[in-house]
Amino acid sequence: MTPQRELSLYERLQNRTVRWLEDNRGLVIVLFCLPASFIFDTFVQIQRWIRRTYFSAPNDHLKRVKEIQKAVQNWNKLPKDQRRPMCTAKPNWLSLSTTFFRKDQCHQIPIDLYDILDLDEENLKIKVEPNVNVNDLTRFLNPKGYTLAVTLEIGDATAGGLAFGVGMTTYSHKVGLYQETILSYDVVTADGSLIHVTADNEHQDLYYCLPWSHGTLCFLVALELKVIKIKPYIHMKYIPVYSQKEYCQKMMEYSGALDKDYPVPDYLEATIYDKENAVIMIGNFADVDTLEKQSKINEISKWYKPWFYKHVENFLGKGGEEYIPIRDYLLRHNRAIFWVVEDMIPFGNNPLFRLFLGWLCPPKPAFLKFTTTKTIREMTFAKQVFQDIVMPLDTLKEQINTAIDLFDTFPLLVYPCRIYDHQRGPQGQLRSPPKEKLTPGTNYSMFNDLGIYGTPGQVKRKEPYNPTKAMRAMEE
């Protein structure tokens, strides 16, 4: 038997520091991360304001694109042995992805495109540059009576990141994934060409390959997105359910998976608090035009309000209804980053904490990534889970049971989502749904996103936990 190597003083100190940070994470975040994150975000917002106020120039969009083309063409002129793979110059820490790509080993191309270019109210579409984020879009569109057909709940998510990744939300049972709402892409290819990509022009193969490609095929410089008309409020009904079989059946029913003519709500989601207990939320656009309705308004995004999923949990005992301002609803999970902040700050939903320090939340993902060391990053990936599983909705029971066995963490998030069969053969990385899974009389099947976020129960109980094996088992 090989004797164990004695740890050096540095390694012992490092291990003790990591353990102390784990045991006192909430205190460290409150005393250091939240104030520093606030200052950091203030600086970023001032920078964005200066850019929008003094340097925003939608009319100069093509000029900026030509500069990107020139940078790519200059890369092509380099000797072949000096051409490192290209990537954007956007720092890793500004991305919401949990990966840390080695951009220092690549040839970086600046993509400084932050403008909203055009809103076409007649044809219900908006053209934007890729670095426009959800905060920008909701502030611009909502007062005008519109929103994106698929609006992610996290304000820092960018239009371009969602386009080349994947996105869905509680409207997706009506329109599908984020990629289904993209009308066109303008991209710069590896030879420096600018091409306009749609579902029915000569570049339609590329149109179906760009989603989920994560920027590996070309540089995105603009995209057109569908918008929908809205009303100022969402009339939200909370429906408690006390058996797994029942909430699985209700999600099939409410989403229209069983009947294409079922009057589905505008927004639909479920939060599962344990194996048998869940709250289903159905929301519809509404005006608040009576005193009775006004008495039920709840501005859920206020800093002193309970985190949304904690607010929803109160309806487990008895259902209810309320009216939520549209932007508050769209960004309802932003303050607690769904429920991830609870693992960072266990006392973060305490009324006193919310009242006095809630305005500092959430810690900005960009700041957390900016200040993350390799050791803390490895600890985070080994002891937390951030997983979204997209599967047929009629397998929801099996999905949940598997997630409980592998991760043992709650709440779980369920968003129904249409997956279309475009009847064109290959449609990129997303396969067409099986014919037998299609909703009768349609070209789509109802799938769902199962969101698993937080610290696995095994980690909390200090039991053995292998994240790699757990993830692979979930994928199987």
Do 206 and 98 share a structural domain? yes
Average the pLDDT over 3-31 and give the result. 72
End-of-domain residue from the set 229, 245, 272: 229
**Is the pLDDT assigned to residue 419 strictly greater than 60?**
yes
Asked whether residue 376 carries a pLDDT value surpassing 70, the answer given is: no
Q: Provide the pLDDT for residue 344.
A: 80
Q: Is the pLDDT of residue 49 over 60?
A: yes
189 and 264 belong to one structural domain: no
Instruction: Please give the residue range of the domain that contains residue 279.
Output: 232-476
For residue 33, is pLDDT > 90? no
Instruction: Answer yes or no: do 197 and 304 share one domain.
Output: no
Q: 245 and 157: one domain? A: no
What pLDDT is stored for residue 445 in this prediction? 96
Whether residue 258 has pLDDT greater than 80: yes
pTM for the model: 0.89
Same domain as 329, residue 185: no
Least confident of 7-21, 199-213, 290-304: 7-21
Q: Are residues 166 and 265 in the same domain?
A: no
How many separate domains does the chain show? 2
Residue 347: is its pLDDT beyond 60? yes
Alpha-carbon distances of 380 from 98, 342, 383, 450, rounded to whole Å: 10, 15, 5, 21
Residue 162: band (very low, low, confident or very high) from pLDDT cuts 50, 70, 90: very high
- For residue 370, the model assigns a pLDDT of 61
Confidence of residue 368 (pLDDT cuts 50, 70, 90): low
My answer on whether 258 and 202 are in the same domain is: no
As a whole number, mean pLDDT of residues 190-212 equals: 94
pLDDT at 6 over 80: no
Higher confidence at residue 98 or residue 303? 303
